[in-house]
Amino acid sequence: MSAPVKTGLPTNKAVLDLLQGLLGRAVTVAPGAPVTPTPSRPTAFATYVDPGYGLNAVVLIDLPLAAWCAGALALLPKGGCEDAVEEGELSEMQVEVLHEVVNVAASLFNAGGVLHSKLDKLYAPGEAVPADLAVLTGSTNRLDLDVTVAGYGGGSLSIILN
């Protein structure tokens, strides 16, 4: 029996299947530009660790997509989600629902034969991220996608492996 290896990047289809299954509605994914958090582009930042608590992946979700995912999962009205996007921050409840989305997303890093990953922390859009984590946004070992959630809208996400 061989030792577990570090995870590889998930496929576009794996991300699509995960989001459609979790959100219970049609989702489209397409190659996109890298998500880079800036003061004018608040971004949720989720960190994932291996069994030894070594950082092995991060997922960045721009504010619009974070709002749409939270809204779809919690069956929130689109208008309330649009308000969050316009105001530049998610409500406490939307952050809690987004936490569930990124927690389930850990399954993207747990295909057979790889080290088991789990969600370590979710930084809400606009929340300060430690500098040692923020530097990972420049990594080239990544998957960048534009995602549209039917009935809500579109946004972007990036999956980056450490």
User: pLDDT by residue (tens digit) across 63-90?
Assistant: 999 999 999 999 999 999 999 999 999 9
Q: What contacts 79, CB < 8 A, 6 or more positions away?
A: none
Q: What is the DSSP letter of 161?
A: E
Confidence of residue 46 (pLDDT cuts 50, 70, 90): very high
Q: Which fold has domain 12-161?
A: Chemotaxis protein chec (3.40.1550)
Domains of the chain, by residue range, sit at 12-161
**Torsion-angle region of 73 (φ positive above 0: left; ψ -120 to 50: alpha; else: beta):** alpha
β-pair type (153-161, 43-49): unpaired
Report pTM. Answer: 0.93
